[in-house]
Structure 1
Amino acid sequence: MITRLLFFFCFLLCTLSGWSQIVLPATPDPLFSTYYHQRVSHFGSLPASAKDIVFLGNSITDGAEWVELFTDNRLKNRGISGDVSAGILHRLPQIAAGKPAKIFLLIGTNDLARNIPADSLLKNIYRIAAYLRQETPLTKLFVQSILPVNTAFNKFARHTNKGDQIRKVNAQLQQNALANHYTFIDLFAAFANEKGELAATFTNDGLHLTGKGYTLWKHLVYPYVFGVESRPALIPVPQKTQWLPGYFSLLAGKTIVVKGKTLKPEAEQLRQLLGAKGISVKIIEEAKGNEPFIELRLGKINAPQYPEEAYQLEVTAKKVVLTANTAHGIFNGIQTLSQLIRDNVLVDACLITDWPAFSWRGYMVDVGRNFQSVALLKQQIDKMAQYKLNIFHFHLTEDIAWRLQIPKYPQLTAPEHMLRNKGAYYSVSEMKDLIQYCRDRYITLVPEIDVPGHSAAFVRAMGVEMQSPEGLALVKEILTDVCQTYDVPYIHLGGDEVKITNPDFLPAVTSLLHRLGKKTIGWEPGGNLADNTIRQLWMTEGPRQPNLKYIDSRHLYINHMDPLESVITIYNRQLGDAIQGTEQVLGATFCVWHDRNVLKEEDVLHMNPVYPAMLAFAERSWQGGGYSGWITNIKSSASQQLQVFKDFEKRLLEHQKLYFASLPFSYAAQSELKWELLGPFKNGGDVAQVFAPEKKGFKPENSPFTAVGGTVVLRHFWHPLVTGVLENPEENTTWYAYTRFWSDVSTTKKFWIGFNNLSRSYNSNSPVEGTWDNRGSAVFLNNQLLTPPQWQRAGQKGNGEAPLLDEGYEYRAPITAPVHKGWNKILVKLPVKSFKGSDWQNPVKWMFTVVPLSEE
């Protein structure tokens, strides 16, 4: 058998050596075992898809339960015990026919054991790579190093005496990875002991793996399977992180050590978190012998600010120790630990010391206009907690509806006094439940009872204006009831967007709340608030007063933002114009004001970039720093700023993939998209006028005007307060944007394309049939004009009660278009006439979004 196999190797190499087109020879079936043919036959009877992740190899691959190991049905075991590289080549057409997304190849141990020359083995592996690239070029191939072997078990002598050859083959596989178009994964180093042999802890025969070995294998290939970074992506990134060699085994660590009752709630939360990941642990008060353990403990953590939220996390092979000054700090550390255990088996050793830059890190939901169920609110609160946000600003009352039950005045929540979601409100018990739900996650719920503005629902229900004497008396009575019913430290009064006709109204209300032991917050600019009322900034207007405290929400309304823009602008913000919290600047709150009606409650999360923005805000409000000014794009010339954003985007995309797979998360990679901006061309008000970039034979040269990102804002509708990429935008001009992207194959590709991401607060008109927008914008792919979508409500006049349906690229089906192998060109035409909209509901936001979407 061995002689015949050696002959076949020589025959195979001679057959293939002269071919540029890889054609695999017919191989005599008797060269392979009965088991080999059984497995190949079985594989051929199973379904295959382009989503498959195939593990291909010999008995070491064959022995794993890959689907259970990764809890992912996409993983396919295509290992055959005893297989060699010639066997892989023989059955490779069957594998390639399924066009799998990824292939993880581990082969060679049996080849060397049968004295197949190392050069022959390497050539076969390179042939495997070449054939796959030829037949299924979109498949990503990962060639894993041959594992070390161990002679001490006195088994498989022909295999275990090949240690030197294994190392030489691995070195060549690593060296020639780029030339052969595969990714090399070094498993050898992690499995080897100090002698370079397979560590005894991973095997019981010197060749094959035990469960512990497969656990390590999973940990090593996890980043490649899911397309994430080699180290867990942490958001918000800690203030200090030191990665160390080694790892802690969650399967070996069966206990959480916590002394006394103080941290029992946090220990129970951690136990449940681990349980959800399939890891069963017990809570005990003392560590047992030499068993690995996780410990939660209070201690002294030095932090330059906000020590009550600081923590230190130490991970070694023997233990995970989480120390903090308070239980809140322990909770914060648990959120980081959760992200460290992304593969649910091993935690990379590290030392993290962390604390927040701002004490106030808030998220605001407006349920007055569009009601959200308690279940949907809790989903968002869970995500807030996961990313260490600590303020849930709950906007409960509006012109549309009053959503908080006041038992004495049921007319406030009566259906006939609501304009939307009639009869939907939060009962006293539901409100108490939400407050406690937040408190259990170290989040403070801040209810907003908006007075005296935004109060039409109150007027309909009570029959009086708020600022009248009768109205003021009712408001005082209602607020007293709220204060006595709910255990919350703050009451938000609103106070903005109203003509103050009773100058005593707000002073009387704030004085009452302060006497009842509540702290107050109001919008700024707004009404005549007390000096000890915290101001929440929503617009730049007037100098700040040194005796006041502030929360920043300026240009943090994501209902006005394009999803891709939101992440860039929030991530780069300098919150409160400060790099960290001060006595005056407490922090910031980002807000969702979805004024327009929605068809279903989830649309608020689909049409506003809630979760991408939340992660960008979480990092900036925890980490501090940022850049002054309000920007919408990163200039390609700002290399340091761009590189920092690219690092964040990698982490953001990992979290999107791992933690938001079933939730709305409107984001796509954009930091590598660089646009050449060509212009300006004077169009004299004729937006259809054609200029040189559209004409045949035009070759764009390097332009001094460049932009980075999937969304590019040339001029914001709040210019110059919010800046676009053009420093001096002019009316009656046309610009063009040019870029190109690579495709490995000719195929059909999906794109996000849009030219006017409608604010969800303005009653803007929908695009007219046959147009992208009302500016005459266009996009060309490889010189072919792309057709706009067939709008469901083409030309719909702005109407707050007419829900948006497909006006935003992030909540409609992507555009599909053919692309060819090699470089593909995108040209975007961007004409504009006046910067003045037809009315205030239709502002001119001169922008475009074009993003080739990744298939992974």
Structure 2
Amino acid sequence: MNRWPFRSAVLLLLALVSPLACAAPSEPALIPLPAQMQRDEGRFVVSDATPVVAEGEAARQAAKYFVEHANTTQKLALRVSAGPAKRAIVFAIDPKASTNSEGYALQVRADGATVKASDPRGLFYGAVTLWQLLESDGGAVQAPAVRIDDAPRFAWRGLMLDTARHFRSVDEVKRLLDALALHKLNTFHWHLTDDQGWRIEIKKYPKLTGIGGCRFPAGDGGVDPNTGEPRPYCGFYTQDQIRDVVRYAAERHITIVPEIDVPGHAQAAIAAYPELGVLGTRPPVSNEWGVNTYLFNVEESTFRFLEDVLDEVSDLFPGTYIHLGGDEAVKDQWVSSARVQERMRELGVKNEAQMQSYMIARLEKHLEIKRKRLIGWDEILEGGLPPQATVMSWRGTEGGIAAAQQNHDVVMSPVSHLYLDYLQTTSANEPPGRPATISLQKLYDYEPVPAALDAAQKKHILGVQANVWTEHMRSFARVQHAIFPRVAALAEIAWSPAKAKNFDDFRSRLPAQLLRYDALGIAYAKTPFEAEIAADADGGRDAKVSLSNPLGYPIRYTTDGRAPTASSPLYERPFEVPLPSRVRAAAFADGRMLAPASERALDAAALRTRTDEELTMCSNSLMLRLEDDGPADGERVIFNVDIFNPCWRWDGADLDGIAAVRVRAGRIPYFFQLAHDEPHRKFQPARSAHGELVIRAGCDGETLASLPLPAQPEKDGFLTLDAKLPGASGRRDLCFYFTGDTRPTMWAIDRVTLVPR
């Protein structure tokens, strides 16, 4: 990639050898990075009077999009005009501009700017880039002189949103589509059906939304606080709303891929029409997370139902693909059903994996009649797959490799790097989420094309997609926290040349993207930009303080309680402060604070307390960040819990002078379906009516305390227990767990405090 013209390179060389030479122009902070960019000297000043000229309807639409965003973020009053003008911004369709339908050519000079493309899609992306080039430091709005020839690396640049678990309004979906377009993403995978809700109107089967569109949340969240009566959680999209969203997406050159999950994740559909299930009974719409066991049966009538559904879905979505799920279909119900086994023999199917394959193949043929292509999660490979089917590889890269080697097209979407419901930092300010951490850098470093594929097989990699599963996202703010700014890294993976990727360079451009988010009202995650404050008093009068930032941005701090500024001391190494002190710290870039300053009061009492975020899991089998079930509305307490082995550890607790340990705990519903992972769930049997809190010296050490638990927490939903530690001294690992089965409710630690003598 040529990112510097010869003249700029000469100026850079002169700047290095002569203190009087002018510095070379800096590069624009564009995300995603263009395929080719040449920076030149000079800048084009844009004002309210700058003409924006569009030649033809396609150009007018791209120009209008540019003007809207420039006016919003730069406080301009630009207008689109039709005629030629001097010192203008010009949008035009030019068949010679790019050989790629999504490519464009952009040039900014001191006397104007032009954006050209051979296709409206390319012109749209050129408009996005020109908008990003606009800069203002409180004075004139300017764009640097630059020449860009750009086109995407991958044709499929996608993001999936699950609206089955938690419903999002049409307005919120549109706001997300706006943001995807500004990252040059072109595919919105819409997860519309699951065990917890059926969200798309099907005219022929109104109970799918009438019954399947509502569930009763577990615990206090499913109770009306005013009446005490059960309160359902409901929501679905009418077909008119679907058409409106599809049109809105198309205007932004985004194709929507709807997902109707089969044969598993079907409990909401079976709740609406029990005859579709294996058991013949009506289950509730699920209010639990995890892997449920309900499957569609394999009767001819059920195939007709699914074909009817796909007919209506196909008519609503004009794109090429319909996603049929196929993931996590636990076959237990099929195995134990005499009727399903009989039906398999009738069809000549040897086993349950082939039965799923038969179902997928039959529905694929039906989609062909509607001129659609089937795409599904990588489990659809099991038992065989029609040659035209496309695979979305989520369980790792292996499914994608196997599919490409079998000449199937592939979209890479591995859970290891591209699941945005996973936590992105270890901050106590992270909202609820799934285990492990997928940081911005981990996502950015992902390479979608496996080295194991040969040149022909690599051509089957259509692109890349990130997924947002919303079990733990009750609000749109949480959805935005999960997506932004990680979607900026996804955009660069999907668009930019592989050889151009460099995380340090990306990180240097990211602060400018945050300013764009601020201007557009995008509630991006602040946690990657926080300063984390760690302290250890070690029993003395001073505390040693360590500061860190997940992305490595410079940190400035104060120890007198004042807010840090760009001129505050720069953190370079751990430092000591006397007790008591108040440390405040923040990460900075370009002289600007990237997130609100973190603050920690350091005194002897505070240093004797650990929150659940500061404790570690004893085995870390399946740690989730979970929220309480109440109140029904508003903010709730969040707990770090290992649902396979709920056990917390304070490593190296200083017990000198300590008389007792005070444990504050809450209780939440255990609402997880684990299917074949059920044997991994561990708990210690209770010895009294309601179980005990047990404290041990290390997870395998001696028992230091065991206190009986009450039947219920206090009125505030919490329980506080004091466990005496006679004769305790020195540094020891403390292990905390509650005995008794974790179902239907489980205790979870909120904080632990060492109580001095």
Partner SS state of residue 525, structure 1: helix
Per-residue deviation, residues 215-259 of structure 1 (Å, max 9, x unmatched): xxxxxxxxxxxxxx9764211121222222221121175322222
Q: 1:460 aligns with which of 263, 271, 274?
A: 271
User: Are positions 1:287 and 2:117 aligned together?
Assistant: no
Q: 1:663 aligns with which of 515, 522, 547?
A: 522
- Does the aligned pair in 2 maintain the 1:314–1:349 contact within 8 Å? yes
Match of 1:341 in 2: 134
In 1, distance between residues paired with 2:385 and 2:77? 53
Per-residue deviation, residues 199-218 of structure 1 (Å, max 9, x unmatched): xxxxxxxxxxxxxxxxxxxx
Match of 2:367 in 1: 513
When the two structures are superposed, what TM-score results if normalisation uses the length of structure 2? 0.59
Per-residue deviation, residues 825-856 of structure 1 (Å, max 9, x unmatched): xxx9999999xxx99999xxxxxxxxxxxxxx
Partner SS state of residue 393, structure 1: strand
Task: Write the letter of the residue equivalent to 2:389.
Answer: T
- Does the aligned pair in 1 maintain the 2:647–2:735 contact within 8 Å? no
Q: 1:552 aligns with which of 412, 416, 419?
A: 412
Is the alpha carbon distance of 1:443 and 1:485 closer, same or farther for their aligned partners in structure 2, counting shifts above 3 Å?
closer
In 2, distance between residues paired with 1:398 and 1:563? 28
Per-residue deviation, residues 320-377 of structure 1 (Å, max 9, x unmatched): 0111121111111111111111327211211122111111111100011110111111
Match of 1:393 in 2: 189
Match of 1:490 in 2: 321
- Does the aligned pair in 2 maintain the 1:311–1:324 contact within 8 Å? yes
Shift of 1:622: 1.2
Is the alpha carbon distance of 1:524 and 1:349 closer, same or farther for their aligned partners in structure 2, counting shifts above 3 Å?
same
Shift of 1:557: 1.0
Aligned ranges 1:64-213 → 2 under 5 Å: none
Aligned ranges 1:714-753 → 2 under 5 Å: 740=574, 747-749=582-584, 750=598
Structure with the bigger percentage of helix: 1
Partner SS state of residue 245, structure 1: strand
Shift of 1:297: 1.6
Shift of 1:491: 0.4
Is the alpha carbon distance of 1:472 and 1:832 closer, same or farther for their aligned partners in structure 2, counting shifts above 3 Å?
farther
In 2, distance between residues paired with 1:590 and 1:520? 19
Aligned ranges 1:244-393 → 2 under 5 Å: 244-251=40-47, 254-276=50-72, 277-288=74-85, 291-299=86-94, 307-343=100-136, 345-393=141-189
User: Are positions 1:587 and 2:418 aligned together?
Assistant: no
In 1, distance between residues paired with 2:92 and 2:653? 59
Match of 1:437 in 2: 248
In 1, distance between residues paired with 2:511 and 2:744? 34
- Does the aligned pair in 2 maintain the 1:393–1:445 contact within 8 Å? yes
Partner SS state of residue 504, structure 1: helix
User: Are positions 1:537 and 2:410 aligned together?
Assistant: no
Partner SS state of residue 32, structure 2: coil
Match of 2:239 in 1: 428
- Does the aligned pair in 1 maintain the 2:107–2:146 contact within 8 Å? yes
Between the two structures, name the one with larger relative contact order (CA 8 Å, sep ≥ 6): 2
Is the alpha carbon distance of 1:830 and 1:495 closer, same or farther for their aligned partners in structure 2, counting shifts above 3 Å?
farther
User: Are positions 1:474 and 2:305 aligned together?
Assistant: yes
In 2, distance between residues paired with 1:530 and 1:320? 49
Task: Write the letter of the residue equivalent to 1:410.
Answer: P
In 2, distance between residues paired with 1:789 and 1:354? 61
Identical-residue share of aligned pairs (%):
26
Task: Write the letter of the residue equivalent to 1:256.
Answer: V
- Does the aligned pair in 2 maintain the 1:402–1:425 contact within 8 Å? yes
User: Are positions 1:571 and 2:444 aligned together?
Assistant: yes
In 2, distance between residues paired with 1:510 and 1:381? 28
Match of 2:203 in 1: 407
Is the alpha carbon distance of 1:246 and 1:594 closer, same or farther for their aligned partners in structure 2, counting shifts above 3 Å?
same
When the two structures are superposed, what TM-score results if normalisation uses the length of structure 1? 0.53
Shift of 1:270: 2.4
In 1, distance between residues paired with 2:491 and 2:424? 18
Match of 2:564 in 1: none
In 2, distance between residues paired with 1:655 and 1:841? 45
Partner SS state of residue 313, structure 1: strand
Task: Write the letter of the residue equivalent to 1:619.
Answer: E
- Does the aligned pair in 2 maintain the 1:510–1:530 contact within 8 Å? yes
Task: Write the letter of the residue equivalent to 2:394.
Answer: W
In 2, distance between residues paired with 1:376 and 1:789? 43
In 1, distance between residues paired with 2:212 and 2:360? 28
Task: Write the letter of the residue equivalent to 2:550.
Answer: G
Per-residue deviation, residues 642-671 of structure 1 (Å, max 9, x unmatched): xx4233223223322342364332245669
Partner SS state of residue 90, structure 2: strand
Partner SS state of residue 383, structure 1: helix
Match of 1:794 in 2: 666
- Does the aligned pair in 1 maintain the 2:466–2:490 contact within 8 Å? yes
- Does the aligned pair in 1 maintain the 2:96–2:118 contact within 8 Å? yes
Task: Write the letter of the residue equivalent to 2:462.
Answer: L
Is the alpha carbon distance of 1:492 and 1:831 closer, same or farther for their aligned partners in structure 2, counting shifts above 3 Å?
farther
Partner SS state of residue 430, structure 1: helix
Match of 2:649 in 1: 775
Per-residue deviation, residues 395-414 of structure 1 (Å, max 9, x unmatched): 00000110000112110001
Is the alpha carbon distance of 1:319 and 1:349 closer, same or farther for their aligned partners in structure 2, counting shifts above 3 Å?
same
- Does the aligned pair in 1 maintain the 2:582–2:599 contact within 8 Å? no
In 2, distance between residues paired with 1:558 and 1:263? 35
Structure with the bigger percentage of strand: 2
Task: Write the letter of the residue equivalent to 1:538.
Answer: W
Task: Write the letter of the residue equivalent to 2:387.
Answer: D
- Does the aligned pair in 1 maintain the 2:38–2:147 contact within 8 Å? yes
Shift of 1:462: 1.4
- Does the aligned pair in 2 maintain the 1:559–1:759 contact within 8 Å? no
Is the alpha carbon distance of 1:414 and 1:669 closer, same or farther for their aligned partners in structure 2, counting shifts above 3 Å?
closer
Is the alpha carbon distance of 1:741 and 1:507 closer, same or farther for their aligned partners in structure 2, counting shifts above 3 Å?
farther
In 2, distance between residues paired with 1:531 and 1:268? 42
Task: Write the letter of the residue equivalent to 2:310.
Answer: L
In 2, distance between residues paired with 1:242 and 1:388? 20
Mind listing any 5+ residue stretches in structure 1 that lack a counterpart? 1-174, 176-185, 191-228, 628-640, 676-689, 701-705, 713-737, 802-827, 843-856
- Does the aligned pair in 2 maintain the 1:524–1:539 contact within 8 Å? yes
In 1, distance between residues paired with 2:255 and 2:106? 25
Is the alpha carbon distance of 1:798 and 1:674 closer, same or farther for their aligned partners in structure 2, counting shifts above 3 Å?
same
- Does the aligned pair in 1 maintain the 2:198–2:212 contact within 8 Å? no
Partner SS state of residue 261, structure 2: strand
Per-residue deviation, residues 140-197 of structure 1 (Å, max 9, x unmatched): xxxxxxxxxxxxxxxxxxxxxxxxxxxxxxxxxxx9xxxxxxxxxx9xx99xxxxxxx
Is the alpha carbon distance of 1:773 and 1:412 closer, same or farther for their aligned partners in structure 2, counting shifts above 3 Å?
same
Task: Write the letter of the residue equivalent to 1:589.
Answer: Q
Is the alpha carbon distance of 1:253 and 1:568 closer, same or farther for their aligned partners in structure 2, counting shifts above 3 Å?
same
Shift of 1:742: 10
In 2, distance between residues paired with 1:336 and 1:392? 21
- Does the aligned pair in 2 maintain the 1:412–1:461 contact within 8 Å? yes
In 2, distance between residues paired with 1:789 and 1:587? 52
Partner SS state of residue 498, structure 2: coil
Mind listing any 5+ residue stretches in structure 2 that lack a counterpart? 1-18, 217-231, 278-295, 332-351, 427-437, 553-571, 585-597, 601-610, 618-622, 630-637, 674-730, 746-757
- Does the aligned pair in 1 maintain the 2:27–2:39 contact within 8 Å? no
In 1, distance between residues paired with 2:258 and 2:375? 10
- Does the aligned pair in 2 maintain the 1:415–1:422 contact within 8 Å? no
Per-residue deviation, residues 573-597 of structure 1 (Å, max 9, x unmatched): 112436999421111110111224x
